[in-house]
Amino acid sequence: MIRIGDLIDNRYRVVSLLGEGGMGTVYEAVDIITKKNVALKFLKATVAQDKVNLARFEIEAKATATLNHPNIVRVISVGKYENLPYMVNELVVGQNLEDELIARGRYTFLEALDIIDQLCNAVGLAHHHGVIHRDIKPSNIYITREGLVKLGDFGIARYSDSKRVTSNTSIVGSAHYLAPEVCKGGESTPRSDIYALGINLFELITGHIPFDGESNVAIAVKQIKEKFPSPRKYIKNTPKAIEAIILKCVKKNPRDRYDSVEALQADIAKLKGNPKALKPRQSIWVKWFGFASED
């Protein structure tokens, strides 16, 4: 059991509990050599007994260690303490995007584009190194106090040339952000991550997820069969250009999506450089009578 004040491997002094989930526990610690604060991520003892969980932990460490980028949460080192695997990550001072969305409701169009633009930096680098994240969602995205976006939690990431850790029948990742081909048991590809980026953009500007249900399976069926909703279902004045980006990201057939993160990012750059394209869409009532448009 890890306690506040413990010295891990004669280097990391545990100072506080940051959070706890089903898979593990995260502590804040001080590196007594560098004097910097870090995040210590431990697998729970019961979780560590499962070979699949251990494999995922190793994948996260291996994948992230190869990806050195400001928009990716950096893994500093890995080790074992009292037979529990742990990972030392950079400490991100800020909130995850899920908490921010709960507090704010939604983001402005420009803010949302900037967040996805920064995520494209992270995901593009990962794809360049053959790493597919497979779980891009707000709870795995962190925003520093300075507005820097960082993608973390590569625990179910997959190398494009690696073997599966789980069977074809398992839904790995949150079904809310899972591409239809993956919901059907197919292989994850870079275009599966692009699908997730589209859903994240949808959620950022609307405050809603496109599909929901009572179970992962029910949501997965909707991802496969149901028409993807327009963001105008929730925000009626969504600019056409943003709607077009989202709908291209989330085409049911992966071949119809952006062929790369760089192509998606190029369209985002065009919008960020053209404020007129980001003006809220006006209803006919605004054009004729000057009434305020409905959000």
What does the pLDDT look like over 170-208, one tens digit per residue?
555 689 999 999 999 999 999 999 999 999 999 999 999
Q: Is residue 100 domain-resident?
A: yes
Q: How far is CA 35 from CA 13, 38, 154, 232, in A?
A: 10, 9, 26, 49
The model carries a pTM of: 0.87
Report, as an integer, the average pLDDT of 272-278: 86
Q: Is residue 227 domain-resident?
A: yes
The residue annotated as part of the active site, out of 6, 114, 135, 256, is: 135
Which domain range does residue 225 map to? 94-278
The residue type of 10 is N
Say if residue 107 is in the same domain as residue 72: no
Say if residue 78 is in the same domain as residue 101: no
The residue type of 94 is G
Q: What is the CATH number of the domain that holds 199?
A: 1.10.510.10
CA–CA dist 27, 40 (Å, integer): 5
Say if residue 86 is in the same domain as residue 98: no
Say if residue 216 is in the same domain as residue 146: yes
Q: 164: which residues sit within 8 A by CB, 6+ positions away?
A: 158
Say if residue 262 is in the same domain as residue 191: yes
| Residue that terminates a domain, selected from 57, 90, 123 | 90
CA–CA dist 183, 168 (Å, integer): 10
Q: Is 135 a catalytic residue?
A: yes
Report, as an integer, the average pLDDT of 256-275: 95
Query: Residue 294 has what pLDDT?
Result: 43
**Number of domains observed in the structure of the chain:** 2
From the list 256, 254, 250, the residue with the least C-alpha distance to 229 is 250
Report, as an integer, the average pLDDT of 221-232: 97
Query: Residue 289 has what pLDDT?
Result: 54
Query: Residue 291 has what pLDDT?
Result: 52
Q: Name the 3-class secondary structure at 94.
A: strand
Q: Is residue 290 domain-resident?
A: no
Say if residue 199 is in the same domain as residue 108: yes
